[in-house]
Structure formats: structure tokens, C-alpha cells
Amino acid sequence: MNRKIVLVCVTLLLLSVIGTASAKTLYVDNCGCADFTKIQDAVNAANDGDIIIVRNGVYFENIKINKSLIIKSENGYEKAVIKSKGSKFNITANDVEIAGFTIIGDNLFDDIGIKLKDASGCIIKNNTITNNYIGVMLWSSSHNSIIDNKINDNIYGLDFYRSNHNIIFLNDINNQVDDIGNIKESQTSSDEYWFSPYKLKYTYKNKEFLGFVGNYWVYYVDFIDDKDKDGICDSAIGSDQYPLKEPRCYYNLQEDLYHISASQKITLFYDENNIKLTKPLFLILSLVMLFGALCPFIWIIPPFISGEETFKENLKRRFLDVIGLGICLFVGIYSITLYQQLNPTYSEAGGIYGEWVNMPLKILILYFFGLFIAFCQNVVNIFYKPKPQEGIPVKDLSSRGATRLEELPKVEKKEGYISRETISMEGTLPQIPNYQVIKRIGFGAFADVYQAKTSNNELVALKIPKIKQFETITSNAFLKEVRIWKNLNHPNIVKLYDYNEKPIPWLSMEYMDGGSLREKLNSLSINKSIDIIIKIAKAVEYAHNKGIIHRDIKPENILFKGSEPKLSDWGLGKLKSSVSTMSMEFKGTLMYASPEQIDPSTYGRVDERADIYQLGTLFYEMLTKKFPFEASDILSIREKKISGEVVEPSKLNPDIPKRIDKIILKCLAKNKEERYQNLSDLIRELGG
């Protein structure tokens, strides 16, 4: 593996060296002392990325450039001269640099010093452009830079047509037409930036300054003051917010402007109090700060919403989190609000490659301060352990997501009862011998269900009772389910592996990884629904043959192992031998309950045919996505179940066959004598 990595690195290094070596430098000298005598010949012979050095002399050429090249005069003081009619440099490529030339025209109508058409990322710098009809023309060109040029004695200095986001600064502009800034600028162009993208260090009259710099406008500066004597006019000239008070030669820059290459993209700049960002980047950073503050509340808010903790208890445990994340949330909202108020077109952060805006540095400082406070809460939680009250055990709270036990009163222990102290409370991960409890995956009114691993590293589900509203609980109430369940072994019944009675009752069962039927209800086809009902009916028939009635068949109690449905939760199950002793009190889920479960005085005692009614209700819901009886309140639902008529399923879903209508309506007969008398008949008619 290490040899492969070394080989890849060497290959990349060689490729980079080869790539660097492929860029070459070509020389032009009109005296014949170089590779070429004409600039155009050098351009034709060059490849993208090559450098063309033009030696001193006068070149009577019109140069067309359709490659990414750097073309510059060899001597910056005695510049090579380009003198001809028409466009001297006609650029139609991206990332072209033209530097150090004197470009002279004849003031004819078609004379253009440098013309950029459909070009981007180009640099025009340190040139003298004079006696042209237009000094520099940009046609459908964006994100170019015109820096440190003398654009003098032209009819028009600059002409922008359908161009935007170009930057122009440190130029001497002195041309014949006294337009706004001596610019022939079409109305279709906008968002040009007439000053440096960041603050520059410069010396003016032997004093050092740091600031934005614009251009020198001959016809305007005499009318504008410079009260602070920094060489920058106090008032804007058109779109130039920082015009120079005197010609460019009076300003000595302490950094080399000419290191800027055409391929550079300026993305982030700093000054004393702000960070310079493009407007989209400002928005992205603001949203990251906002949602970065909101997301942690997912772990803070649910405990007291679900009742695992009171608000006061949660606040005590998460006080620094709330303060820190509250600060971050405020900063995120403030940043979004600030973004909506930005107007970057004339901001002091205008940029070459987009609209630049200021993000106050104090925003980020305050945000990270809030994160630091929230981090401190985690440090406190590591070292802080709640003091146990007398008689109350405190479990290990170091695992993620665990919360402190509720303050429980001492209770008197009675024979046959299990103290509330020994029962696992919500919000904690219980400690069960030979099991590693991972997380809570379900809960009900009576018990919580946890995902756990056995000592053999097998996933199981642990069901453990919870007590909140009572002081004590009999073990018989919970273990009744175990006695029923342990005798059931069917491919469509969730397996019971193990159970315990004291000190904490729990049962270990098959882990179901496919979710419940409730989660799949809206995506079931008719054939798939029939298949599920047949399999669950076979499971219930098996239980009936064992003398057991389920009494609570509903989507939440049908779980999936992969795609296989299995019936779970036998907490309301009852042995048929004890039917005569059943309480007259209703037990179960109202929407699925049979009439005899609701009104046994009218419809008789509950027996296995109540399960058939519940299967019919479940089948009805799977096919129509509605209950057989619906109403806005419980009393109305009870009344409809006792005396109302069921709407045929096919009227709600025309795709349901008529034979299925008859099967469902027979299952939902109010009198149990009119239903299927056993599940074998139902399964046979469904085709199972």
C-alpha cells in the first residue's frame, strides 16, 4: 500500500513538472534578433499559458489574441510601441495579460487601443494608451482588471458594452469627451468597480496610508477637497468612491500590483474591522451560522417536551448550552437580517470577481464566543455528577443522551411488589446483566423498548416497564404477557428469547429491523395487503389453536423483519380458558375494537372472533387508508361501532375487487355470530 502511495505521488510530481515545463517564453524583436519579428507570429506559434516578451521598438500591427497568453514589453521604462489603425490588441480569449506597451492610434473612428470581446479574467496594466477613438473597449466581457494605465488624449477613454463586474483603479484618465468620468459607457453595462478590491498601503507626500484607491480624473479633481491630506478625494466622482487627488505618479505603492495574474481569483480580504466576502458567500456563511445554532437544540428540547424531564431540570443541566447557542442563534438571525440590507454595488468592498460586501468581524467573534460557552457545558457535564438522594440509586450518566433520574420519594416495599426505585426511568439507559443497552427505539403507556446486544453480539429488543404515575407495580401484570408469549412459536410472531422477573422485570425478544405496518400503510398495493393479512391471520389462528386471544391487532403491533410481517405485543392477550372471568372494562385500541369489546352487555363476551373483527378493520384501513368508522370524538366513534353501517371499501377505492368487499364486511359484522367463526375460512377465501 505504501509503495502504491509513493508511486502515485511521484507520478503527480512528474506530471506537475511536465506541465510547468510545457509553458514556454517566446521573444519578439523587430530587428530580427529574436525568435520572431512580429508579435502576431509569436501569438500564432504560442500555446495557452505561454509568455511573449516584446523588445523595444515600434510595431505596426493589429494583433488578434485567441489564447490565454501573457504579452508584455521587455522594458517597463522604454515601452514597446504598437502603432496602427483599427484595434491594436483584439482579445477574444480568457486570462490574457497585456502589460507595459505604448499603444498609439490616429484618432480615426475605428481606432481602438485594446478591445476585449467575450473575454474574462484578463489584466490590462501599466500601458500608455493614447490618440485612439476609444482607449479600451469591453464588449460582453466581465471580471477583467484595468490597472495602473495612462489612458490619455483619446476621444473616449473606456467603452463598456454589455459588460459588468470589471475593476478599474490607479489609472490616469484624461480624454477629450467630458462625459461622466470621461467614459463612453452604454446603458446596458452596470456594476463596474472603480476602486481597488481591498485596502492598499501607499506613500503620498512622504506619508504612509492604508486605504482604497480609485482613479485620477483630470477634469474633476480640482473641484473636490482632500481635507485629511491622504491623496484621496473626499467626494466620489460618479461610481469612483475613492478618486485620486493627483496623478498616479504621486503615489508610491508598497506592494507590487504586478504580481496579479490573469488566472488569480480574489475571494477573501481582510481589513481592521470587516471580512470581505462575495454576497453569495455571505449568505451561505450566515445560513451555516443560523442552522449550526438551531441543530443542537434537537438534543436539548425533546427531553422536556416528551416528559422525560421538566423544563426546570433540563435548563439546570443545559444552562450553558442554552446561553451559548442562544448567542449563536442571535448572531445567525442578525447576519441574515444584515444580508437583506446589503447594497454592495457601491460598497467599499467592490471586487473584481463579484459583488463584495462587508461582514463585521465582531459577528464571527461573538458567534465563536457562543460556541465556546456551549462547549464549556460539555466540560462541566464530564466532571459533574448529581448527588444521589438517600435511598435513590443514581445510574451511570456518562453515556451520551443519558439524563438524571427524577427525584423519587421513598416508598414502602410490600410483598409481591417491585419498588419504583428499581424500575428504569425514561431518559436513562438501564443496566441489564448480559445485555449492552444501546438506545430506546419505542415506548408505550406501560413499557419502553430498547435496542440491545447480547454477550454474543446479537441484536435484540428489550421491553422494560416504566412507572411514572404510580408508586408501585405488581410483577404479575407485566409477566402475564410473558406467560402467554413464551408458548408461541410461529414464523409470523415475534420471537420471545428470554425474560426476568426480579428485581427489574424485562423480556428479550426478536429485533425487528423493518419498522411497523403503520410506517408502510400508505404505500401498500392491494395484493401486498392481502398477503400481509393472510400471514397475520395464520399467526392469529396459531395463537387461537393454543387457546390465546390477542385483542389488540393494529398496525403498530405488526412489525417487519426485512419484508416479513410478524405480530407482536401480547400485553392484552388473554387465555380462552379465562374468558368467563374477563373484566367488563374496555381494554384495547378504540379504532380497532370490536362491538363486544365496547359493549359486552349487548354483544356478549369477548372471544377469538374479536380478533377476526380487528383483522377486518386492519384490512379495511390498509386498502382504503381510512377507518370503517370515523368521527371527531370518542363517543361518536363508540356509537357508530355499535349502531352504524360500514361503507363498502370499493366505494372508497374502486380498484378493490367485490369479493374482497364481501370478506371485509363479513369480518366487520356487529354480531360475532355473523362473522367468520374461525380464521381457517377467512384464510381460505383470501386464497391463502
CATH of residue 35's domain is: 2.160.20.10
Does residue 467 sit in the same domain as residue 522?
Answer: no
**Does the residue 259 lie in any domain?**
no
What is the rounded distance in angstroms from the CA atom of residue 488 to the CA atom of residue 297?
A: 44
Does residue 160 sit in the same domain as residue 281?
Answer: no
> How many CB atoms are closer than 10 A to CB 464?
21
- The CA angle 421-427-433, to the nearest 5 degrees, is 60
- Is the model more confident about 478 or about 514? 514
pLDDT confidence of 445, banded at 50, 70, 90?
A: low
What is the rounded distance in angstroms from the CA atom of residue 248 to the CA atom of residue 232?
A: 11
Instruction: Respond yes or no: is residue 607 known to be catalytic.
Output: no
Using the CB atoms, write b or e for 22-35: b if 16+ within 10 Å: eeeebebbbeeebe
Does residue 69 sit in the same domain as residue 118?
Answer: yes
Does residue 39 sit in the same domain as residue 153?
Answer: yes
Instruction: Quick: pLDDT tens for 457-512.
Output: 899 998 887 754 333 444 555 666 777 787 788 999 999 888 887 767 788 899 99
* CA distances from residue 486 to 340, 494, 496, 500, 683 in whole angstroms, order as listed: 65, 11, 6, 12, 25
Contacts 24+ apart (CB under 8 A), 656-660: 656/526, 656/623, 656/624, 657/526, 659/685, 660/526, 660/530, 660/623
Which range has the worst mean pLDDT, 138-152, 214-228, 307-321, 589-603? 307-321
Q: Mean pLDDT, to the nearest integer, of 171-194?
A: 62
3 state DSSP class of 436: strand
Which range has the worst mean pLDDT, 276-280, 282-286, 435-439, 663-667? 276-280
Among 510, 526, 544, the domain boundary falls at 510
At 288 the pLDDT is 82
- Is the model more confident about 85 or about 293? 85
**Does the residue 211 lie in any domain?**
no
Among 167, 195, 223, the domain boundary falls at 195
* CA distances from residue 663 to 170, 328, 530 in whole angstroms, order as listed: 89, 60, 11
pTM confidence score: 0.42
Antiparallel, parallel or unpaired: β 156-161 and 134-139: parallel
**Does the residue 205 lie in any domain?**
no
Antiparallel, parallel or unpaired: β 123-125 and 145-147: parallel
**Does the residue 231 lie in any domain?**
no
Task: Quote the crossing angle between the two packed helices 319-340 and 279-294, to the nearest 10°.
Answer: 160
Which range has the worst mean pLDDT, 328-342, 377-391, 449-463, 545-559? 377-391
The amino acid occupying position 614 is Q
Does residue 538 sit in the same domain as residue 667?
Answer: yes
Q: Please identify which residue in the block is written with the cell numbers 443522551.
A: 401
Sign of CA dihedral 627, 633, 639, 644: negative
Distance in Å from the first CA to the final CA of the chain: 57
3 state DSSP class of 499: strand
Q: Mean pLDDT, to the nearest integer, of 173-200?
A: 64
- Is the model more confident about 403 or about 94? 94
The count of structural domains within the chain is 4
What is the rounded distance in angstroms from the CA atom of residue 65 to the CA atom of residue 101?
A: 16
* CA distances from residue 572 to 483, 545, 557, 609 in whole angstroms, order as listed: 12, 17, 11, 15
| H-only helix segments in 435-562 | 475-485, 517-520, 526-545
Mean pLDDT over each residue of the chain, to the nearest integer: 77
What is the rounded distance in angstroms from the CA atom of residue 62 to the CA atom of residue 455?
A: 85
DSSP 8-state code for residue 579:
G
Count of residues in the chain = 688
Question: Of these residues, 50, 111, 230, 552, which one is catalytic?
Answer: 552
pLDDT confidence of 61, banded at 50, 70, 90?
A: very high
Q: Write the CATH number for 484.
A: 3.30.200.20
**Does the residue 9 lie in any domain?**
no
pLDDT confidence of 526, banded at 50, 70, 90?
A: very high
Please report, rounded to a whole number, the percentage of residues in the chain having pLDDT higher than 90.
34
What is the rounded distance in angstroms from the CA atom of residue 120 to the CA atom of residue 92?
A: 9
pLDDT confidence of 265, banded at 50, 70, 90?
A: very low
**CA 550 to the chain's CA centroid:** 45
Does residue 312 sit in the same domain as residue 451?
Answer: no
Please report, rounded to a whole number, the percentage of residues in the chain having pLDDT higher than 70.
72
Using the CB atoms, write b or e for 519-535: b if 16+ within 10 Å: ebeeebeeeebbbbbbb
Does residue 590 sit in the same domain as residue 633?
Answer: yes
Among 482, 510, 538, the domain boundary falls at 510
- Is the model more confident about 394 or about 319? 319
| H-only helix segments in 486-608 | 517-520, 526-545, 595-598, 600-603
**Does the residue 405 lie in any domain?**
no
Does residue 456 sit in the same domain as residue 529?
Answer: no
What does residue 243 show for φ and ψ, rounded to 5 degrees? Answer: -65, 145
Tell whether the model's pLDDT for residue 10 goes beyond 90.
Answer: no
Which range has the worst mean pLDDT, 254-258, 374-378, 601-605? 254-258
355: nearest Cα among 343, 341, 340, 364: 343
Tell whether the model's pLDDT for residue 342 goes beyond 80.
Answer: no
What is the rounded distance in angstroms from the CA atom of residue 405 to the CA atom of residue 310?
A: 11
What is the rounded distance in angstroms from the CA atom of residue 582 to the CA atom of residue 596?
A: 12
At 159, list the grid cell. Answer: 467603452
Owning domain of residue 111: 25-195
Task: Quote the crossing angle between the two packed helices 526-545 and 609-624, to the nearest 10°.
Answer: 170
What is the rounded distance in angstroms from the CA atom of residue 238 to the CA atom of residue 685?
A: 88
Tell whether the model's pLDDT for residue 350 goes beyond 70.
Answer: no
**Does the residue 594 lie in any domain?**
yes
**Does the residue 207 lie in any domain?**
no
Does residue 550 sit in the same domain as residue 637?
Answer: yes
Does residue 521 sit in the same domain as residue 499?
Answer: no
What is the rounded distance in angstroms from the CA atom of residue 19 to the CA atom of residue 24?
A: 11
Does residue 278 sit in the same domain as residue 373?
Answer: yes
Q: Please identify which residue in the block is written with the cell numbers 490574457.
A: 96
Q: Write the CATH number for 600.
A: 1.10.510.10
Does residue 454 sit in the same domain as residue 332?
Answer: no
pLDDT confidence of 379, banded at 50, 70, 90?
A: confident
What is the rounded distance in angstroms from the CA atom of residue 420 to the CA atom of residue 228?
A: 79
